[in-house]
Chains A and B, each alone.
Chain A
Amino acid sequence: GQQLNQSPQSMFIQEGEDVSMNCTSSSIFNTWLWYKQDPGEGPVLLIALYKAGELTSNGRLTAQFGITRKDSFLNISASIPSDVGIYFCAGYSGGSNYKLTFGKGTLLTVNP
């Protein structure tokens, strides 16, 4: 089945630093999404990307849909303590199978 390789698995950074994480796939996706999961909560959608090459921002977050449609990255600028959590990429390939394929997540720790 489809698999997403998300890296890094974890990051420890200082408050104020920028963060970058990415996701790659052996398959093409029509949609890339980035979710964040806070401890004890369900994942929450941060950014959705629907077109190859698309660059979308949501506050301090910026994500891009790779030109090959097989990768995406998420950048967080000027990190703050509340950015702590697990960030998941997810891909949707379209068609009649509506399931999302999730990466295994990047655990972000921000030291104040």
Chain B
Amino acid sequence: DSGVTQTPKHLITATGQRVTLRCSPRSGDLSVYWYQQSLDQGLQFLIQYYNGEERAKGNILERFSAQQFPDLHSELNLSSLELGDSALYFCASSVGLGATGELFFGEGSRLTVL
């Protein structure tokens, strides 16, 4: 158990819909990262937050947005969903800004868009 909690574990929805994925980092970790894992693209970095502020942005679509709340939990919002958005979405956390590269991953949220 990494200490990172993600909900929901599974989500099935239709194209055009909007979903919210939630992540609680390990106790004491200030950074939260979101990654997308698909079969053909592997693990793709989406976005990082540190203590409530956006720190780094990766290949995140404009239809996707995220935020980190004062209690340090984070939400990833996916809107106008397309079939290609079906993937595993992982949240990870680290103590600081992540300079060591040591991330702790949650178990993921599997999104299926029909």
User: Are A31 and B101 in touch, CB under 8 angstroms?
Assistant: yes
Query: Closest chain B residue to A99 by CB distance?
Result: B45
Asked whether any CB of chain A lies closer than 8 Å to the CB of B21, the reply is no
Which residues of the other chain, B, contact A91 by a CB distance below 8 angstroms?
Answer: 101
Expressed in whole angstroms, the minimum distance between the Cβ of A111 and any Cβ of chain B is 23
Asked whether any CB of chain B lies closer than 8 Å to the CB of A87, the reply is no
Which residues of the other chain, A, contact B48 by a CB distance below 8 angstroms?
Answer: 98-99
Q: How many residues of B contact A (CB 8 A)?
A: 26
13 new A-B contacts, CB < 8 A, other than A50-B100, A96-B56, are A42-B105, A42-B106, A43-B43, A44-B2, A45-B103, A48-B100, A48-B101, A92-B99, A98-B98, A98-B99, A99-B48, A100-B103, A102-B44
Instruction: Enumerate 26 A-B pairs (CB-CB under 8 Å) in ascending A order.
Output: A33-B102, A40-B107, A41-B108, A42-B2, A42-B90, A42-B92, A42-B106, A42-B107, A42-B108, A43-B43, A43-B105, A44-B2, A44-B105, A48-B102, A50-B100, A88-B42, A92-B101, A97-B56, A98-B98, A99-B45, A99-B48, A100-B45, A102-B42, A102-B43, A102-B44, A102-B45
